[in-house]
Amino acid sequence: MENQITLRSLGNSEIKITPIGLGCWQFSKRGNVAGKFWPLLEDELILDIIRISLEGGINWFDTAEIYGKGASEKMLAKSLTTLGKTPGDVLIATKWWPMFRRASNIIKTIDERLACLSPFPIDLYQVHQPYGFSSEVKEMEAMAKLLQSNKIKNIGVSNFSASKMRSAWETLQKSGINLLSNQVQYSLLKRKIETNGVLDTAKELGITIIAYSPLAQGLVTGKFHDNPELLKNIGFRKYSSMFKPKGLEKSKPVIDLVKKLAIKYESTPSQVALNWLIHFHGDTFVAIPGATKSSHAEENTGAMKFRLSSNDMRLLDEVSSGFKK
C-alpha cells in the first residue's frame, strides 16, 4: 500500500483536500427527524472516529444544519477542539437547509451556524437542496453577500441538477466568485449523474463532485447480501428499492467483483468501492463516507493508500454500468 496521499483542488480554488473527507450526519445525536436516521453515538466514540480520521490523513469534514439541528456541527467542533485542532488545521463544510425558507434566511441564520462550529470558520457553505421558497439565483446572491462580508470562505451546492448548477455558477460569476462543488449521491450502485448531465457540466465548469453515500448506504460492502438477517434492522433504508430482493439480485454481480478485488488488493470491499470512486473519473470526484464505528474510520482512510489498476477500474465500470440509468 502507498502511504502518500495526494491532495486535490476543490473546484477552481487553491483549497487542497484529501480525496476522502468524513461525512458527519451520524453525529446528529438524534436531535430531529434527520438525526433519527442514525443510532445515538456516544461522545467518546465520535471523538475516536474523528481522531482516527485525522491520524489517517483526512483533512476535511462535511456536516449540515439539518443534522440534529446543529448537533452534528457542535460535536464536530467540540471533538476537533478536544483533539487540539485550531482554526486553519482542518477544513469544514456545512450546509444551509432551504425547505420552507427564503434566500434571506441564509444571511439571517449564518451567525447560528458559526456559533455551532465555533471556533472553526466555514470553509465551504452549501445549499443543501434545490427545493426552497427562493430560486437558486437568489440563494447564490445571498451566499455571495456572506462571502463578501467574510462570514464564509467558499460556496457550494448539493443535489443540484445540471441546469440549476449552471445557473448557480453563472450567478456567482457575476460577482467574480467560483462555485466550487456540487454534493450528490454517487456510488458504484448509483451512477445517474453520468447520464443526466451533472457530471459533464461539473467537468466543463471546473466544479468538484462531492459524493455522499459512496458505499450505497452500506450495500456495496456485501454484508446485506451475505447476511439478509441484517435487513431487519436498517431503519429507513428498508424502503429503498436497492434493499428489496430484486434490488439485491441486481447488485450482486457488482458486489461479487468488489469482494474479489478486495482479496486481490488485501483490502476490504468498502475500500475497493471508495478507491474506484476517487480515481475512475480523475480529480473530479471526492467522497464523504460516514462512520459509526472506529473500524469504519480506519477503512475510510485506508482507501486512500492504494490504487486499483486501470483494468480493474474498467471492470468495475462495466459490471456497474446498469446503475447509470
Active site residues: 67
Phi, psi of 212 (to 5 degrees): -100, 160
Residues 6+ away with beta carbon under 8 Å from 45? 293, 294
110-114 long-range contacts (CB < 8 A, ≥24 apart) are: 110/146, 110/151, 110/152, 112/70, 113/65, 113/70, 113/73, 114/151
9 strand-pairing partners: 16
Written as one letter, the residue type at 106 is: I
Residues 6+ away with beta carbon under 8 Å from 60? 17, 18, 21, 22, 90, 91, 92, 93, 123
Residues 6+ away with beta carbon under 8 Å from 295? none
Return the number of other C-beta atoms located less than 10 Å from residue 135's C-beta: 15
In the chain, alpha helices (H): 43-55, 71-82, 104-108, 110-117, 136-148, 162-173, 198-205, 223-226, 245-264, 269-280, 294-302, 310-319
CA atoms of 210 and 136, how far apart (whole Å):
19
CA atoms of 31 and 126, how far apart (whole Å):
21
CA atoms of 323 and 325, how far apart (whole Å):
5
